[in-house]
A = this chain, B = another copy of it.
Amino acid sequence: MATISEVAERAGVSTATVSRALNGKDSVDPALAGRVLAAADELGYRPNGPARNLRKQETAVLALIISDVENPFFTAISRGVEDVAHDAGYSVVLCNSDDDPDKEREYVEVALQERVAGVLLSPAGRGDSAEKLRAHDTPVVAIDRPLPRSGGDTVLVDTRLAAREATLHLAEQGYRRLGCLTGPEGVPTADDRLAGYRDGLRAAGLDSGELVRRSDFKATGAAEAAHSLLAERQPPDAILVANNAMAVSVLAALDELGMRPGRDVGVVAFDDAPWTVLIDPPLSVVAQPAYDMGATAAQLLLGRIGGDHTETTVTTLSAHLVPRGSSRSG
C-alpha cells in the first residue's frame, strides 16, 4: 500500500508537505496542495493508522466491554455508544465479557495494549479492571453497573428503586406472595433488583419468606429457576423478573403449567421489548433507557478523552414501570 513518501515523490514535494496538505493545514500553497491530493488519489493512498497512532500517541478507538451482545438491553446501549462515537470520528471495539471476570480482565489488557482512547465498562464482578485502566491513564466510564471501588464516571439506572416500585405495584394489585427471579450474585444489577424487591416487600408489609431464585440472566438457565420457583410448596402468586430473557422462560413455564399471567400469577419483568405487547395479556415491564445510557456514557467518555478533568460524575437515569395486563389481578 502506498506510503506518504511515494505520494511526496509523485507530487514532487517533501513528506512534510504531503502530511500538511492531507491534514488540511492552512499553511500550504493551494497549488501544491492540489498536486498532493491528486497524487494521493492516483496512488490510492490511505494514511497508515498504526503509524499515525504511534506518532500521535493516541487512537480514535473506544472499547465497549459488556456481558452479552445478544441481550437487547446491551445491544441498545451499544447502539447509543456507536452513534455518538461515530459522530465524533471514533470507532468502537465490542467485547463480550459473558460476565466472566477473567474475560473482562483479558479485554482490559487488550484495550491497554492497543492504547484505546477510552473504555466503557459494564463491570462483571468485584474485579479491579477500572483501577488498572486508570492506573495507565485510560479514561473509563462505568455503564449500567457501578464500579466495585467506585471513583469513576458512572451511568446508571435507579434499578433498585424501579424494582421496589414494581414490587409495590404487584402488592397494590392484590398479589400477596411475591417472588423474585434475579441474576447472578455479585452482578450489581442483579443484587440491586433483589434489594429493591425486598424494599418493596417491606414497604408493602409483606413477607414472603424467601421466594427468590438466581439464574444467569439468560433464558436457558432461567427456565429451571422458574420451574423451581413455581414448584414451591407455597408458590408465589406474582414474580418480579430481573430481565427480559429470563421473562421468556417464566412465561413459558407458566404456559406449560397451564397458568395465565395476570390471572394466576402476576408478572413484571425488566426491559421492554417490541414483542411484550403481542402476548396475551401483554407483559408489564420496567423500561430502561438503554440507548440513552450508551449515548450519555459515550459523551462523558469523549469529554474525558478531550481533557475534561472536572470531578467524576454519577449519572442516574430513571427506569419507569409500564403496567400492562400481566400484573393486573383477576
Contact = CB atoms under 8 A, between A and B. Distances in A.
Interface in A178-225: 219
Contact of A115 (B48, B91, B92, B112): B48
Interface in A291-324: none
Contact of A113 (B49, B54, B83, B110): B49
A103 to B, nearest CB: 8
A22 to B, nearest CB: 12
Looking at chain A, what size class is its interface with the partner chain?
35 or more
A277 B219 CA distance: 13
A1 B70 contact: no
A245 B219 contact: no
Interface stretch (A34-42, A93-101, A120-128, A168-176): A93-101
A150 B251 CA distance: 45
A248 interface: yes
A79 interface: yes
A50 B136 contact: no
Contacts of A1: 136-137
Contact of A82 (B75, B76, B94): B94
A204 B53 CA distance: 60
A151 interface: no
A127 B121 CA distance: 35
Residue from A50, A82, A96, A109 having most chain B Cβ neighbours under 10 A: A50
Given A78-B69, A278-B252, A50 B44 contact: no
A109 B94 CA distance: 19
Contacts of A94: 78, 82, 92-94
A51 interface: yes
Contacts of A259: none
A244 B13 CA distance: 56
Contacts of A76: 70
A187 to B, nearest CB: 19
Contacts of A280: 279-280
A323 to B, nearest CB: 19
Closest 6 CB pairs between A and B? Answer: A50-B53, A49-B114, A275-B275, A94-B94, A50-B54, A248-B274
16 contacts: A44-B136, A49-B114, A51-B54, A69-B69, A69-B75, A69-B78, A69-B79, A72-B72, A82-B95, A91-B110, A245-B274, A248-B274, A275-B275, A275-B278, A278-B279, A279-B280
